[in-house]
Structure 1
Amino acid sequence: MIMRNGMVALAFVGGASVCAAAPETSLRPAPRPAEPVQMAALAVTATSPDTQLRPVVRPVSDQILMAAARPADLQSLSPELSLRPSLRPDSIVEQALFKRRRLRKGSVCGDISIQGEKVGHVPAKQAGCGAQDAVRVRSVAGVTLSQSAVMTCETAQALNTWVEDGLQPAFRRRNQVVSLRVAAHYACRTRNNRPGARISEHGKGRAIDISGFTLESGELVTVAQGWSAKGFSKRLRKAWSAACGPFGTVLGPEADRYHRDHFHFDTAKHRSGPYCR
């Protein structure tokens, strides 16, 4: 038998009925004694912000006491002056601004790093020659040209990019190039001066020939001698390779017999991309 709704039911075990007694005490948990509850409340009160969370006053450190007892006439071990860099004098700032104004005044092709003067229209002496909006360049990327070279702005910008991003990294920082030896620039002539040949890119102001480089040390490195020299061969070949991209045509000592002693750079466009030999 089972209990349902407070009634006692009979259960048959082994054929006999057995009476199941109800529990004499409640199955509900007994209430907690008052003492633990009071102790918990006291613990919460003891840890309240008003009593425990306030910072304790720090004791005076030995370092402060020693500093206070230090004789006033004892030499200081700390720097007498601030380690912060001093402000630049106004004269230096003025010189920098003056130099920049001067460079901007002498710049061409809208680039302060290309120094020269405007030439404008270059008349053609024969069909196919001449140039529009030409400039006469004296220096690019801080590197002077041995002679002012007439060219288009596109060619001047390509030369500037090559000197800054290709030539100087090839020669490293310790002994940079300070001057380019210009072998040829604008000239109304045929390719390699051959009779009946097509007009050279030189005749259009889109080419320049470089035969050597003057370094900061004053040393002159020529293409003719340095191309196979142990000390400069690797640098010259790296510089020549870096020109392939800024320029459309790049020719060097291994291109043909006409270019054994100089680099030829021009900005001609080729369908298959830059032509470099």
Structure 2
Amino acid sequence: MRAALAFLLMTFPAHAEPRPVPRPGAEIVVLSEDGSTEVPDEAAVARSVRPVQQLEGPDGIAAEMAAAAAEKLDDAGTVQVSDRPETRPEDRVPAEPEPAPATRVPPSETGSVALCGRRSIVGETIAPVTGPGGCGIPDAVRIRQVSGLRLTRPARMDCTTAQTLDDWVRDAVIPGIGRRGGGPVALRVAAGYACRPRNNQPGAKMSEHALGHAIDIAAIRLADGSELSVLRDWDEGAEGRVLRALWRAACGPFGTVLGPESDSFHQDHFHLDTARYRNGGAYCR
């Protein structure tokens, strides 16, 4: 055994690297009609032609893309849209409806149920409002709209005050403003019911706001988004003249009407109330 190993080491040097021996190629055998086999010459074996046409180089690829794009063009040269099935209705996300332009609602369409005896007053009856020191509204309603003009925030009051506000809007505000700015659409409310003394002054008498007899109006909003503002427009040009006419028209239907010329507490709004204790006529200032 040792002698055989020594012989092998002498025959193959240690530093020689083994090299892979090429595997003989596969032999091609052809079956004849009589059942015998034969090996054809290499020249007789033809390479098959692949049916796939290869694109050579970027020019070939660009040409193929241009041809595909041309198939999508109609005679007018415009791109044809492929016929794809529409999304099922249940998969569609409904679009947000665009807000309708601000318009005054005709009084006949304002409410389906008469509130305070009128369909032109929109809102709801609410539970009696109570508060300390005599504050409260026994027969309370929450008003959202009068004669087609919405209140920028709901106001609590009694029905007498709601009806008087409705009269003033119908008889004075709407005809007095006319089509200026597209016409009036809303009353900007500064205050409704509030359990407090007059002008929030400690020791003063109870405010008519604390009884649901009053509402403060800071501005009249128009359809184009502009406003007739008591603070900005009082005694200023045509807008000021309109506001003064509306203030004057409120005097009589309302028992108390206060504006910018009454005192410093009313520089930015009209105070309108239906005080029940007045016997000598309305107090307007």
Distance 1:158 1:273 in 2: 15
How far did residue 213 of structure 1 move? 1.1
Distance 2:188 2:230 in 1: 10
With over 3 angstroms needed to count, the CA separation of the structure-2 counterparts of 1:101 and 1:143, relative to structure 1, is closer
Residue matched to 1:135: 141
Q: 1:103 aligns with which of 103, 106, 111?
A: 111
Which contiguous aligned blocks of 4+ residues in structure 1 show a shift greater than 3 angstroms?
Answer: 99-102
Residue matched to 1:203: 210
Residues 20-67 of structure 1: per-residue CA shift (max 9 Å, x gap): xxxxxxxxxxxxxxxxxxxxxxxxxxxxxxxxxxxxxxxxxxxxxxxx
Distance 2:195 2:141 in 1: 16
Distance 1:210 1:254 in 2: 15
Residue matched to 1:273: 281
SS in 2 for 1:181: strand
Residues 91-150 of structure 1: per-residue CA shift (max 9 Å, x gap): xxxxxxxx9688223x411100000010131112x1121111110000000000000000
Question: Structure 2 matches for 1:1-150, cutoff 5 A?
Answer: 103-105=111-113, 107-124=114-131, 126-150=132-156
Q: 1:257 aligns with which of 257, 264, 272?
A: 264
**What is the aligned-residue identity percentage?**
50
Q: With the length of structure 1 as denominator, give the TM-score of the two structures.
A: 0.61
SS in 2 for 1:228: coil
Residue matched to 1:225: 232
Number of matched pairs: 177
Distance 1:189 1:137 in 2: 20
Q: Which runs of 5+ in 1 are unaligned?
A: 1-98
Distance 2:169 2:253 in 1: 10
How far did residue 173 of structure 1 move? 3.7
Distance 1:102 1:264 in 2: 25
How far did residue 180 of structure 1 move? 0.5
Larger fraction in strand = 1
Cα RMSD for the two superposed structures:
1.6
Q: 2:185 aligns with which of 178, 182, 188?
A: 178
What is the identity, as a one-letter code, of the residue corresponding to 1:137?
I
Partners of 2:196 and 2:206 within 8 A in 1: yes
What is the identity, as a one-letter code, of the residue corresponding to 2:164?
A
Q: With the length of structure 2 as denominator, give the TM-score of the two structures.
A: 0.60
How far did residue 248 of structure 1 move? 0.3
Distance 1:102 1:240 in 2: 25
Residue matched to 1:95: none
Whether 1:155 aligns to 2:161 is: yes
What is the identity, as a one-letter code, of the residue corresponding to 2:136?
G
SS in 1 for 2:247: helix
What is the identity, as a one-letter code, of the residue corresponding to 1:225?
R
Distance 2:123 2:221 in 1: 20
SS in 1 for 2:160: helix
Partners of 2:251 and 2:283 within 8 A in 1: yes
